[in-house]
């Protein structure tokens, strides 16, 4: 009764405060003299102000209503359980078996304006061509097209160019993979440096020669070793228009597995290098080798102010269709764009490859004869058995006419009389001889063509932008504008097949260990960027810049470049040779170690209560990292927090304020750094919203107590650390506790050993054994029950969810939400794909299965562990090749509304097998499912029976969902993997693949270097709002607000950083909460990136880049209590009111890669973003 009274009084007090606040606001509106007008005549401006005030009051009333509702619900929950703790302590288990936790005391509200949902309610792109429709329409057959095998015969009339000659731009290029068959450094040493060295010499020999270059990672490395004369020669070539830098990213990024954070970051890294060293901004995109193309990339290029782009690897049936309709050049528009703001001019190459035989025209046998590197006597030849001939007077007429015929045929596929002809291949032009062979022979052909007016052609070397500008000029439109009658296309270009049924859908999963590691490092990079920027700004603000390790910036630069390098389309894809993969892994591990150092150094400064006590010692870190990795290919080991009452542990006394030091001996109050048995823990929340969640740390005792910064005891759930399926550690234990963390902030907690810990409860653990010789070996402090497994369904529950599990398999069977009477079948299965017995087999790139998947079987039944407790419950099933944990958190808000699914896979003893996880549900999604593109946007997909099984797989960077008129089931992922829905109600994810042979795409190896890999997911079941219609046939779809935040929680883990014990004591610490006002919950802070100094690239300038993404929301799903205050503002944000204790001295809109800046805004301006928009701003914070 006492508890019930306390909660009721607390709720009543909050209600009174809320009502009184509203009364004061109403009183202020009524009595503000500025709002009075004589004679009752209100000018229009005053009326609009009044209307705004009324709207604000309405919103406040709504928010207060929601607060009161949540208080009422909380009180009712406690009342309904009839819960009275026998000892008076919380948490405890009530009569009905549910756990009662301490009331959080911080009610929250959800106030999403209807206007902020509109993108999700049906308006969408007015494109001429929707790729979903193209997929539905095409047969995806493969008839023989003649010389153009995958196309058709092209004809033309000889007089078609009489009135307007054909304008041909031959664009020499060299595609340099930053790692593939060789490592990045080996390629540079063996080939790339020679290409660039020859380029500055050979282009200078003739001003008519042109060249394009893409990969800044290589250009940067060359620049470091080039002498000043070479550097100046390159600047001169760029200034003179002979050399163009295209795209300008650190790499030519993969577009399937890469996350948009990293895609943006590598683009910024490349562009910032170009600005600093060459003073140029790229204007045209060049992507000839990524294995399929994402609409996200076109959007990012548009936001970086590029005007045009080129793509190449697209399904041959789609290329044929676009060629037949002369739609190979189009405006690429985002599916969610209701206007044309996202349009970018795109050129699709029509033929099989970007090499010389497939770029001059439809007949590779003829085009190969004009690849003069293949002249007889060289190391490579033409597979079509007709070699090139050097151009001489005797054959020039015949050669020129033969080549012009190909040019004309290719130009018939486009709508202008301007033609692009790339001239290059992988690592071309590495020898001076090739420069001479190609440029000299082609110049002879151009001179001949141009001097014969009857040929009606103007041919020349050109850059990519010169070609695009000629197209715009031919149509009399501005750069980047839509020429008349050119189509608008929406959608993406996955999945890719280059011939027959050879779908490049295997690489969506290949080497999942590194796909997972990549995302861990991206989260660390973002977190380190934000904390470093805030720490440096705060240090400047208090005049301590000289004492802060600003030199950590070099670690950030190294990590940016390592992460950028890994976005390369043979790195994150898992399609490089084994030694190259190891090289990438070592770079990533070095980056991760450096980032953890940046984070702990920034956190150290920011949590100091009195900055005067701040001391930085390079060799003596203040904090420990949350975990460690022994090698680049090992899983992380969490840091153990040792609580030893006999050893020197430390506590702080801050002018006699609570919490008191709990030490038996007398304390000397004059010493501010006083020792006891206490350890400090700093938790970093990298999410831009307040976070209510369960955090788990490792401790060395079961007598652990956890306190907040102000001395409140937290409920702790103590569990065993299991060393095998049935054996637990006697020295290490898991302590889980519920915390509320400030957005982008650092919170301080105390841990100590205490024999009397009524708030620390031990998990109830049951081992379900098959009875075949497996016994439970329990450590003394944590008893474990065991029982014979039976086939009956068993359940675990939380305050939000009830999960059913198969008694036989230990795998998930069903989910029931507390607010939904309907139990939804969600059956977890594991299945195995083999590969074909024929010549063509699966490899790193290709997925060529031997038919439908077969169920995963093992002889022995699994050992299943069931753990239940006040904060979380979980079921762990141990199989030979995988171990799956399904955990639910018994906390309010986001963390408690979905299932955490952790699957550790080890298939190193398998041969030509691919392990997949399948979810079988009763959701009636038909043939439609939705996958994300790069974590940025959702793309509807359809399962087509006309496609082979492997053609229905798509990349999943962050999530996939199926839905019907009642429910949506979303699988959120912390790593990129391949996904499909082969039957209604099903989702299927390839977890790992071990393949013993090459798939004939140049790698020369199978995928045999598998690692023990942990794949992390969140499974979210949402109920569709009553009466809300679902439009699955639409071209756009969006996550709910809960979906967005769930994904953010999964991909941005809380970092638990223990304070290292110090002999001289720990100075006073306090929570660091950087935000002055809450960020609207449809805003995502992509990055807060300190910009490099123009003078020293290893040091920061005073400027910081703020990159924001406004999320689009589907509000058609029930919105539960998220555990934090969630409001939207129709895209408005006051940046000056965002950061606490910092002055905003500059607010300047800029292009995405910070190259093109607009006029600075007034510092107190509000900025405005449309749904889905990503915008960047330069800030000066002090």
Q: What is the DSSP letter of 459?
A: E
Close Cβ partners of 205 (under 8 Å, ≥ 6 residues apart): none
Contact 955, 508 (CB under 8 A): yes
- State how far Cα 805 lies from the chain centre: 31
The CA distance from 617 to 601, in Å, is 10
Q: At what angle do helices 193-202 and 432-450 cross, to 10 degrees?
A: 40
Strand pairing partners for 1167?
1133
Closest CA to 1010 of 918, 912, 916: 912
The CA distance from 253 to 249, in Å, is 8
Residue 838 phi/psi, 5-degree rounding, is -75, -175
Contact 989, 972 (CB under 8 A): no
Quote the tokens at residue 70. 């949540």
Helices (H), 707-817: none
What DSSP assignment string belongs to 372-394? GGGSTTSS---TTS-------TT
Quote the tokens at residue 868. 């239940």
3-state secondary structure 1144-1178: EEEEEEECCCCCCECCCCCCCCEEECCCCCEEEEE
Contact 388, 357 (CB under 8 A): no
The CA distance from 100 to 74, in Å, is 11
Q: What is the DSSP letter of 1079?
A: P
Residue 951 phi/psi, 5-degree rounding, is -75, -10
The CA distance from 887 to 873, in Å, is 6
Quote the tokens at residue 329. 């050049």
Catalytic residues: 289
CB atoms within 10 A of CB 472: 20
The CA distance from 99 to 890, in Å, is 8
CB atoms within 10 A of CB 158: 8
The CA distance from 784 to 728, in Å, is 10
- CA distances to 2, 706, 707, 939 from 644, in Å: 37, 15, 17, 53
Close Cβ partners of 593 (under 8 Å, ≥ 6 residues apart): none
Q: How many CA atoms lie within 13 A of 412 on its CB side?
A: 16
The CA distance from 130 to 1092, in Å, is 41
- CA distances to 239, 1023, 1042, 1043 from 1118, in Å: 58, 6, 9, 11
Q: Is 1048 helix (H, G, I), strand (E, B) or coil?
A: helix
Residue 1014 phi/psi, 5-degree rounding, is -105, 115
């Amino acid at each position: 009764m006492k508890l019930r009274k306390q909660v009721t009084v607390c709720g009543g007090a909050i209600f009174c405060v809320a009502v009184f606040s509203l009364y004061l606001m109403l009183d202020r509106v009524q009595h503000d003299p500025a709002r009075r007008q004589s004679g009752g005549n209100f000018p229009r401006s005053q009326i609009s102000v009044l209307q705004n005030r009324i709207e604000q009051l309405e919103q406040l009333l709504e928010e207060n209503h929601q607060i009161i509702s949540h208080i009422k619900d909380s009180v009712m929950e406690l009342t309904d359980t009839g819960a009275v703790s026998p000892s008076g302590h919380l948490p405890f288990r009530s009569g009905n078996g549910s756990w009662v936790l301490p009331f959080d005391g911080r009610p929250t509200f959800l106030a999403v304006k209807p206007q902020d949902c509109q993108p999700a309610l049906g308006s969408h792109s007015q494109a001429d061509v929707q790729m979903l429709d193209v997929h539905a329409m095409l047969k995806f057959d493969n008839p023989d097209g003649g010389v153009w095998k995958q196309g058709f015969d092209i004809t033309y009339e000889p007089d078609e160019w009489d009135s307007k000659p054909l304008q041909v731009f031959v664009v020499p290029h060299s595609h340099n993979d930053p790692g593939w068959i060789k490592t990045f450094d080996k390629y540079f040493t063996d080939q790339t440096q020679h290409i660039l060295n020859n380029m500055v010499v050979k282009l200078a020999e003739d001003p008519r020669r042109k060249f394009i270059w893409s990969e800044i990672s290589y250009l940067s490395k060359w620049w470091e070793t080039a002498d000043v004369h070479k550097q100046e020669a390159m600047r001169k070539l760029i200034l003179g228009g002979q050399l163009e830098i295209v795209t300008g990213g650190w790499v030519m990024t993969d577009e399937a597995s890469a996350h948009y954070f990293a895609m943006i970051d590598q683009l910024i890294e490349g562009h910032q290098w170009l600005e600093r060293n060459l003073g140029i901004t790229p204007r045209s995109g060049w992507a000839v080798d990524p294995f399929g193309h994402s609409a996200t990339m076109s959007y990012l290029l548009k936001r970086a102010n590029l005007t045009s782009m080129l793509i190449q690897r697209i399904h041959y049936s789609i290329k044929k269709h676009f060629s037949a309709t002369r739609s190979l050049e189009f405006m690429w528009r985002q599916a969610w764009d209701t206007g044309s703001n996202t349009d970018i001019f795109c050129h699709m190459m029509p033929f099989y490859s970007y090499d010389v035989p497939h770029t001059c025209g439809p007949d590779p046998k003829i085009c190969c004869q004009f690849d003069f590197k293949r002249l007889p006597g060289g190391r490579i030849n033409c597979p079509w058995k007709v070699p090139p001939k050097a151009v001489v007077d005797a054959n020039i007429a015949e050669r020129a006419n033969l080549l012009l015929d190909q040019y004309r045929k290719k130009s018939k596929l486009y709508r202008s009389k301007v033609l692009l002809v790339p001239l290059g291949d992988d690592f071309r032009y590495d020898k001076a001889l090739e420069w001479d062979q190609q440029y000299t022979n082609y110049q002879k052909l151009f001179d001949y063509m141009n001097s014969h007016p009857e040929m009606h052609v103007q041919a020349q070397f050109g850059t990519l932008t010169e070609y695009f500008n000629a197209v715009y000029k031919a149509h009399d439109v501005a750069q980047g504008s839509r020429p008349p009658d050119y189509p608008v296309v929406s959608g993406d270009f996955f999945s890719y097949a280059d011939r027959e049924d050879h779908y490049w859908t295997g690489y969506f999963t290949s080497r999942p260990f590194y796909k997972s590691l990549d995302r861990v490092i991206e989260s660390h990079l973002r977190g380190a960027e934000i904390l470093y920027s805030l720490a440096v700004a705060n240090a400047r603000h208090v005049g301590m810049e000289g004492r802060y390790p600003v030199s950590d910036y070099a670690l950030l630069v190294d990590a940016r470049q390592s992460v950028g390098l890994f976005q390369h389309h043979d790195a994150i894809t898992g399609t490089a040779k084994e030694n190259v993969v190891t090289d990438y892994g070592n770079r990533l591990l070095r980056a991760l170690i450096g980032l953890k150092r940046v984070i702990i150094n920034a956190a150290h400064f920011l949590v100091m209560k009195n900055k005067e006590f701040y001391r930085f010692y390079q060799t003596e870190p203040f904090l420990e990292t949350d975990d460690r990795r022994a090698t680049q290919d090992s899983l992380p080991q969490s840091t153990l927090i040792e609580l030893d009452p006999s050893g020197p542990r430390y506590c702080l006394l801050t002018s006699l304020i609570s919490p008191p030091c709990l030490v038996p001996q007398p304390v000397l109050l004059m010493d501010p750094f006083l020792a006891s048995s206490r350890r400090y823990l700093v938790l970093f929340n990298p999410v831009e919203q307040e976070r209510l969640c369960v955090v788990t740390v490792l401790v060395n005792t079961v007598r652990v107590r956890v306190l907040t910064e102000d001395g409140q005891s937290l409920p702790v759930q103590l569990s065993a650390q299991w060393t095998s399926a049935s054996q637990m550690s006697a020295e290490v234990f898991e302590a889980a506790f519920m915390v509320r963390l400030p957005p982008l902030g650092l919170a301080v907690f105390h841990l100590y050993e205490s024999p009397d810990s009524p708030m620390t409860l031990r998990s109830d653990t049951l081992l379900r054994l098959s009875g075949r010789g497996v016994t439970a070996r329990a450590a003394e402090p944590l008893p474990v029950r065991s029982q014979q497994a039976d086939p009956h369904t068993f359940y675990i529950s939380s305050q939000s969810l009830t999960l059913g599990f198969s008694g036989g398999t230990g795998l998930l069977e069903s989910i029931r939400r507390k607010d939904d009477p309907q139990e939804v079948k969600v059956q977890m299965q594991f299945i195995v794909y083999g590969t074909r017995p024929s010549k063509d087999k699966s490899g790193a790139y290709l997925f060529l299965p031997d038919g439908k998947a077969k169920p995963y079987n093992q002889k022995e039944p699994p050992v299943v562990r069931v753990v239940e407790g006040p904060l979380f419950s979980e079921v762990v099933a141990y199989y030979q090749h995988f171990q799956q944990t399904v955990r639910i958190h018994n906390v309010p808000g986001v963390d408690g509304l979905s299932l955490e699914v952790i699957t550790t896979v080890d298939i190193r003893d398998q041969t030509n097998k691919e392990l997949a996880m399948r979810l079988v549900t009763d959701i009636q999604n038909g043939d439609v499912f939705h996958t994300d593109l790069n974590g940025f946007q959702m793309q509807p997909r359809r399962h087509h029976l006309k496609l082979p099984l492997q053609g229905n797989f798509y990349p999943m960077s962050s999530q996939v969902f199926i839905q019907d008129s009642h429910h949506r089931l979303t699988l959120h992922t912390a790593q990129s993997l391949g996904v499909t829905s082969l039957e209604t109600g099903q989702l299927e994810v390839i977890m790992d693949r071990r393949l013993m042979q090459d798939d004939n795409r140049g790698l020369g190896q199978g995928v045999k270097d598998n690692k023990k890999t942990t794949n992390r997911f969140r499974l979210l079941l949402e109920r569709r709002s009553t009466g809300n219609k679902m439009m699955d046939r639409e071209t756009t779809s969006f996550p709910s607000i809960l979906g967005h935040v769930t994904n953010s929680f999964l991909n941005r883990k809380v970092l638990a950083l223990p304070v290292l014990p110090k002999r001289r004591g720990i100075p006073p610490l306090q929570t660091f909460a950087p935000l002055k006002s809450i960020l609207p919950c449809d805003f995502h802070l992509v990055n807060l990136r300190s910009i490099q100094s123009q003078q020293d690239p290893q040091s920061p300038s005073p400027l910081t880049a703020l990159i924001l993404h406004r999320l689009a929301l589907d509000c058609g799903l029930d919105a539960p209590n998220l555990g934090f205050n969630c409001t939207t503002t129709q895209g408005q944000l006051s940046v000056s009111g965002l950061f606490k204790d910092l002055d905003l001295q500059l607010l300047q809109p800029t292009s995405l890669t910070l190259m093109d800046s607009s006029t600075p805004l007034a510092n107190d301006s509000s900025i405005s973003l449309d749904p889905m928009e990503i915008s960047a701003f330069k800030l000066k914070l002090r």
